A and B are shown apart, each in its own frame.
Chain A
Amino acid sequence: MIKFIFRRLLMMIPVLIGVSFVIFSMLYFAPGDAADVILGDLATPEDKQLFRAEHGLDKPFLVQYFNYMKGVVTEGDLGTSYVTRQPVTIEIMERFPATLQLSAMSVFLAVVIGVTVGIISATRQYSFIDHLATSLSMIGVSMPNFWQGMMLIIIFSVALRWFPPSGFSTPMHWVLPAVTVGTNASANIMRMTRSSMLEIIRQDYIRTARAKGQTEAVVIWKHALKNALIPIITVVGLSFGRLLGGAVLTESIFSIAGVGKLMVDAIKLKNFPMVQGGVLFIAFVMSIVNLVVDVLYSFADPRIRSMYTRPRTRKAATAKEAA
């Protein structure tokens, strides 16, 4: 297993190099000059030239890319933000805790709601509760985050005064944003749980389990859910990965200083090092999440686990078969 994880970590290197090259060339060839945007239109051509020289923007494309990658690899330096002149790494790490916390809380909420409701509606297919849950999840999926966030603010902040409308400092501040993002993600998880469970509970081994006389709870939670987990883990992993890249709209509505807003502001200002560093960081986080998802698969499914744990024996077996 450790070997597998190590191999997967190595595979991240080409992925990250690819991402860095693509994003670097996109920004390089994107129209607009950082000097114009950052210095404003009262700056003289000399001021702008000074700025370009200072940031190495007057060098050829490949030289710029090479210099950048050299910094990343040798010093873990993602560059310096044009705008704040602080290291990009520090800026991202300042914002990342809020994003991580929001994502984790939202995903936790989404899993609790989504899996529970999904199972209930799968086991009672076409019942009133199933119809209710399916319709609610349709609304959950279709309701845009920004609208839901605003409604929550209007109801729970302005009218009832239960929770503060913006910020992310105290537990009271966490509730509305986490609910906004969580309910949206839970709808997807609920639908995936329901369809995956529906498929599983029709399988023969479920009938066998029931025939053995096991209680319905054990049949559903142990036999069925465990087999239905793979697609659910995939959806949860995807949602979590996406949220770690920043929930831009939710962050904006609740004035949370997270990674998403940082990136959008950086793109608007043509703050190239910030955008590059941010995308690279998000790609890195996404790879780690994918790795964790793969490892979780192996816990859910012994067949997958066997592929990781005994590769040599398996190879030997295949070789023998071929012979």
Chain B
Amino acid sequence: MRRKAFALAALVLAATVAASAAGNAGKKTKDTLRVAIWEDLKTMDPQASNFVSYWMVQLNIFDKLVYEDSKGVVHPRLATEWKFLDDLTLEMKLRKDVVFHDSGKFTAEDVLFTFSRGKANPVSASTFAPFDLEKTVIVDPYTIRIKFKTPYAAVFNTLSTGRGAIVSKAAVERMGSDAFARSPVGSGPYKLERWKSGTEIALVRNDAYWGTKAITKNVVYSIIPEAANRVIELETGGVDAVFDVAANDVKRVKAMKGAHILMGNSSRYMTLTFSMKDKLLSDKNVRYALSYAIDKKALVDAVYEGTATTANGMYPPTVFAFKDKGVMPYDPVKAKELLAKAGYPDGFTMDFLVENREIDIRLAEIIQNMWAAVGVKVKMYQMNASTYTAQGHKFQAGMRAGNVNEPSNILIIYDSAFGERLEPNDPWIDKKLAAAKTIYDSKKRAGAYAEIQDYLYDARWTVPFAFTPVIYALSDKVEGFACDPMQQVEMSKVTVYQ
């Protein structure tokens, strides 16, 4: 019966998709796609960027060597084939028919140059740290032998992220990095046409693109920081697609004529963090009590209005080697017992650091109440971590948002080398994290990360509580818009009908 219902649902879904496609079939296409995004880029230089919002525009201007999909399958882009000669050497063959926007030819020199820029820029240096560029050799203009200092299992992830976007060496050397950051030269399906700071970014099709050429000639990103205004722009026909729709606007879009919501899993998650330097929180009973005291499902449903899911693991399920640990249980009675056992039958008071963002504050206020119910009072600080430490505060409890799609980069917060927020200084976890990074065999690597997730779930240094989705709002006239978990949508594949 259940299967039948499911089949029926699938049928209905297929029918709707077909209908919406049929609705546009035979219609003329528009040559400009207008998209609303939430913030301006500070730079078009991929190696100087550290936000998904920068890369999501840059990815249309630049190409990468490879593309690793969410299942871990690596697809060729600028690199056509590759093999590991040994654990520390990756040989890549490059496409010979690629030209940059300034007509310069793409060669292995550009690849090496891109890596060296990554290493030199503080924003990307730690990502490129395992690359050994002194020993990396350019075998011929279309073959590069990349050397690593240690085996580097996340290499394809790094090459697929925004930081791995290949820049034109000649163009950077000609303009200098700062000018390049305003007028980028890549080899991607679009070229930057104009950029009105804080207002809009306009791209135009690169007709000399080596791959499938972009369907829509122009893409204009309108920068509209207010979430409600982005949706209003869609409603009034100012834009065709909206990035980052707020949870409380979802209903509004669903009620709109001629527009719909596209929602999917993302790599964003919210977690509570406990400092292990703190005497109070280094007691495992206290951490478990604080975790038991929170009704995660009620919290997530209230704040995200049904769009997010309650976390059932240490990191989001879209990320490699995710292990379903179930939602951390809610049991206020047990929480009180554990507090009594730890020697705090009447509770205690601690500091709670929260980012000064609307959604974080709403979450924190509910958590504050849930903790108060078991006798734990918190003093809430709404600021970023650096201001907090600079004011002389010590970390106790905190809340943190993550948005990374590679386990080694997500779990870096548990490493001793990482900042002051957690500081577990746990030799076992340091060793395991370092080791997992070097395992190329994906099955073994998944096993290593599963073991780490078990350990972290048990340690309760953090309490992940929400996996939040990516939410787009689209006009029904838009087709080919992929629901990417990191908001890295390829505009070259999008069609917009009249």
A associates with B: yes
- Minimum CB–CB distance from A301 to chain B (whole Å) comes to 42
Partner-contacting stretch, out of B211-219, B232-240, B319-327: B232-240
Does A31 contact B387, Cβ atoms closer than 8 Å? yes
Q: List the B side residues contacting A86 at CB < 8 Å.
A: 178, 181-182
A43 CB–B CB distance under 8 Å: yes
Does A158 contact B409, Cβ atoms closer than 8 Å? no
Q: List the A side residues contacting B196 at CB < 8 Å.
A: 94, 257
User: Which of A35, A42, A85 is B178 in contact with, Cβ under 8 Å?
Assistant: A85
Q: List the A side residues contacting B48 at CB < 8 Å.
A: 85
B161 CB–A CB distance under 8 Å: no
Q: List the A side residues contacting B226 at CB < 8 Å.
A: 166, 252-253, 255
Q: A95-B198, A164-B238, A262-B198 are in contact. Are A37 and B225 (CB under 8 A)?
A: no
Q: List the A side residues contacting B417 at CB < 8 Å.
A: 44
Interface residues of A in 287-314 (CB under 8 A from B): none
Does A165 contact B126, Cβ atoms closer than 8 Å? no
- Which of B181, B196, B384, B418: most chain A CB closer than 10 A? B384
A48 CB–B CB distance under 8 Å: yes
User: Which of A36, A46, A158, A167 is B199 in contact with, Cβ under 8 Å?
Assistant: A167
User: Within the assembled complex, what's the spacing in Å between the Cα atoms of A83 and B42?
Assistant: 6
Does B125 contact A44, Cβ atoms closer than 8 Å? yes
B421 CB–A CB distance under 8 Å: yes
When A and B form their complex, which 8 residue pairs have the shortest distance between CB atoms, in order from nearest? Answer: A257-B198, A36-B386, A31-B390, A47-B122, A32-B387, A255-B224, A83-B42, A32-B390
- Minimum CB–CB distance from B34 to chain A (whole Å) comes to 11
Q: List the B side residues contacting A262 at CB < 8 Å.
A: 198
A40 CB–B CB distance under 8 Å: yes
User: Which of A84, A164, A257, A270 is B236 in contact with, Cβ under 8 Å?
Assistant: A164
Does B384 contact A37, Cβ atoms closer than 8 Å? yes
Interface residues of B in 44-86 (CB under 8 A from A): 48, 50
User: Within the assembled complex, what's the spacing in Å between the Cα atoms of A158 and B387?
Assistant: 40
- Minimum CB–CB distance from A168 to chain B (whole Å) comes to 7
A161 CB–B CB distance under 8 Å: yes
Does B122 contact A50, Cβ atoms closer than 8 Å? yes
Interface residues of B in 392-431 (CB under 8 A from A): 409, 412, 417-419, 421
Chain B residue with the shortest CB-CB distance to A47: B122
B442 CB–A CB distance under 8 Å: no
Does A166 contact B390, Cβ atoms closer than 8 Å? no
Q: List the B side residues contacting A164 at CB < 8 Å.
A: 233, 236, 238
Interface residues of B in 206-250 (CB under 8 A from A): 222-226, 229, 232-233, 235-236, 238
Does B199 contact A42, Cβ atoms closer than 8 Å? no
Chain A residue with the shortest CB-CB distance to B123: A39
Interface residues of A in 32-72 (CB under 8 A from B): 32-33, 35-37, 39-44, 46-48, 50-51, 54
13 new A-B contacts at CB < 8 Å, known A35-B122, A40-B123, A42-B409: A32-B386, A40-B50, A41-B419, A83-B43, A86-B178, A91-B197, A164-B238, A166-B229, A166-B232, A167-B238, A255-B199, A255-B229, A257-B197
Does A255 contact B123, Cβ atoms closer than 8 Å? no
Count contacts on B: residues with CB < 8 A to the other chain: 40
Does A41 contact B197, Cβ atoms closer than 8 Å? no
- Minimum CB–CB distance from B233 to chain A (whole Å) comes to 6
Does A39 contact B122, Cβ atoms closer than 8 Å? yes
Residue numbers of B with Cβ under 8 A of A are 40, 42-43, 48, 50, 122-123, 125-126, 177-178, 181-182, 196-199, 222-226, 229, 232-233, 235-236, 238, 384-387, 390-391, 409, 412, 417-419, 421
User: Within the assembled complex, what's the spacing in Å between the Cα atoms of A193 and B421?
Assistant: 58
Count contacts on A: residues with CB < 8 A to the other chain: 45
Does B391 contact A31, Cβ atoms closer than 8 Å? yes
User: Which of B181, B222, B387 is A167 in contact with, Cβ under 8 Å?
Assistant: B222
User: Within the assembled complex, what's the spacing in Å between the Cα atoms of A169 and B177?
Assistant: 30
- Minimum CB–CB distance from B124 to chain A (whole Å) comes to 9
Interface residues of A in 239-283 (CB under 8 A from B): 252-257, 261-262, 270
Q: List the B side residues contacting A270 at CB < 8 Å.
A: 386
- Which of B43, B236, B391, B412: most chain A CB closer than 10 A? B236
Does A165 contact B233, Cβ atoms closer than 8 Å? yes
Does A94 contact B419, Cβ atoms closer than 8 Å? no
Does B386 contact A85, Cβ atoms closer than 8 Å? no
Chain B residue with the shortest CB-CB distance to A164: B238
Q: List the B side residues contacting A84 at CB < 8 Å.
A: 42-43, 181
Sample 19 A-B pairs with CB under 8 A, ordered by A number. Answer: A31-B387, A32-B386, A32-B390, A36-B386, A40-B123, A41-B421, A43-B125, A85-B43, A85-B48, A85-B177, A94-B197, A161-B236, A165-B233, A166-B233, A166-B238, A252-B226, A255-B224, A255-B226, A257-B223
User: Which of B40, B181, B182, B229 is A165 in contact with, Cβ under 8 Å?
Assistant: B229
Does B199 contact A169, Cβ atoms closer than 8 Å? yes
Q: List the B side residues contacting A51 at CB < 8 Å.
A: 122
Q: List the A side residues contacting B223 at CB < 8 Å.
A: 255, 257
Interface residues of A in 139-177 (CB under 8 A from B): 153, 157-158, 161, 164-169
User: Within the assembled complex, what's the spacing in Å between the Cα atoms of A46 and B124?
Assistant: 12
User: Within the assembled complex, what's the spacing in Å between the Cα atoms of A264 and B246?
Assistant: 22
Q: List the B side residues contacting A95 at CB < 8 Å.
A: 197-198
Q: List the B side residues contacting A161 at CB < 8 Å.
A: 236
- Which of A169, A252, A257: most chain B CB closer than 10 A? A257
Does A252 contact B182, Cβ atoms closer than 8 Å? no
Interface residues of A in 2-44 (CB under 8 A from B): 31-33, 35-37, 39-44
Q: List the A side residues contacting B384 at CB < 8 Å.
A: 32, 36-37
Does A257 contact B390, Cβ atoms closer than 8 Å? no
Q: List the A side residues contacting B199 at CB < 8 Å.
A: 167-169, 255-257
User: Within the assembled complex, what's the spacing in Å between the Cα atoms of A191 and B210?
Assistant: 66
- Minimum CB–CB distance from B116 to chain A (whole Å) comes to 15
- Minimum CB–CB distance from B268 to chain A (whole Å) comes to 15
Q: List the B side residues contacting A94 at CB < 8 Å.
A: 196-198
- Minimum CB–CB distance from A254 to chain B (whole Å) comes to 8
